[in-house]
Chain A
């Protein structure tokens, strides 16, 4: 849940990058950090296991300056994708305002993408949030692998399987190359701020 300080005219909101293990959530944050240094307000924090996989979260704070007269600060988080970290993912989701679901385009990750999306829906439900109502954007990551001859799902297939019911904005992307990472975040941010504006009666 965003914190809004009407006296200081400051708003802090939390956007979480969700998705299966190895889908590229951390890479999104690393590339955002590199691509938009002037918005980054502090170093990126990664809580990893010895094997460099996310154990708890990655965290990247950004300052967007004034929007509708209010200083907007963004807190970007990733969750640990591995199935066994269910309760940890749930902890990171607390107080979420907007979400980016990072789906892996590799054919072998098809099942994991769907399970992760179901896991997200369930975890949101436990916080009395609906996957259909929360600001959410889909990112079809690793599109660059298609040119390398890897077995990659078509965008139509991913749309049908992951976005058939949700019908939310989606972006083909290559986080490793920094492609569409900004567009994904921008869209998520737009939806999140619209939602917050309504909820907090801010900028009315």
Chain B
């Protein structure tokens, strides 16, 4: 039978428990603070971010992600990545390709991946995926989405302008008249005057 503890032993044990409790409270405070910093950081990012564990459960996300991908609250609340992907798939131009690529990423836990996603309504997103590890163990993935619709449109406009210019310059070089819009003519003159443009030597 165990011996009955003395008053001093009990008092010491109470002191130890109080110290442990204090340490735990401090650790919880630190943890709460860290979570709050991380949450605020996550919310301040312009990209949509969602973190998923290896069982396909959503561990955290920022509001930007929900807004960008137009995911209803009920689906986010379910914390099920498949349902989120299912909702996205219905908005995407090439759902089969999108699913195939996501599936392939999950087949390579160490892979970092980047892709461009086009939506049916014309939006274009850049998608990044990074593995998440604790130590060396793979525990899930971080997905990042950025709306690049505006920059893609600007890039396309630039590309179109470049083609117009190229055609105009070729016409000039070949000694033919140009019937292009005044913008193209101004741009050509600017190339000669400001940028010291020279024709390529004739072959």
A121 within 8 A of B: no
Most buried by A among B79, B86, B107: B86
- In Å, the complex CA distance between A65 and B86 comes to 27
B96 touches A1 (CB 8 A): no
A56 in complex: contacting residue of B54, B57, B80, B89, CB < 8 Å? B89
- In Å, the complex CA distance between A90 and B106 comes to 9
Query: Please, what's the 1-or-0 string for A1-45, where 1 marks a CB less than 8 Å from any CB in chain B?
Result: 101000000000000000000000000000000000000001001
A87 in complex: contacting residue of B55, B86, B107, CB < 8 Å? B107
Q: Smallest Cβ distance from A91 to chain B, in angstroms?
A: 5
A124 within 8 A of B: no
A101 within 8 A of B: no
- In Å, the complex CA distance between A153 and B74 comes to 43
With A75-B80, A94-B55, A95-B55 as contacts: A88 and B86 at CB distance below 8 Å? no
With A55-B89, A95-B57 as contacts: A87 and B82 at CB distance below 8 Å? no
A59 touches B102 (CB 8 A): no
A56 touches B99 (CB 8 A): yes
Closest to B85 in A: A56
Within A45-59, the residues touching B (CB, 8 Å) are: 45, 47, 49, 55-57, 59
Q: Smallest Cβ distance from B80 to chain A, in angstroms?
A: 7
CB-CB < 8 A to A90: which residues of B? Answer: 103, 106-107
Q: Smallest Cβ distance from A124 to chain B, in angstroms?
A: 14
B99 touches A88 (CB 8 A): yes
- In Å, the complex CA distance between A56 and B114 comes to 21
A92 in complex: contacting residue of B54, B82, B89, B96, CB < 8 Å? B82
With A77-B82, A88-B103 as contacts: A55 and B96 at CB distance below 8 Å? yes
B55 touches A55 (CB 8 A): no
With A45-B86, A56-B89, A94-B82 as contacts: A87 and B106 at CB distance below 8 Å? yes
Interface residues of chain B, those whose CB is within 8 Å of chain A, are 54-57, 74, 79-83, 85-86, 89-90, 95-96, 99-100, 102-104, 106-107
Interface residues of chain A, those whose CB is within 8 Å of chain B, are 1, 3, 42, 45, 47, 49, 55-57, 59, 75, 77, 85-88, 90-92, 94-95
Kindly list the 9 A-B residue pairs having the minimum CB-CB distance in the complex, ordered from nearest. Answer: A87-B103, A94-B56, A95-B55, A1-B55, A47-B86, A95-B56, A88-B99, A91-B103, A88-B103
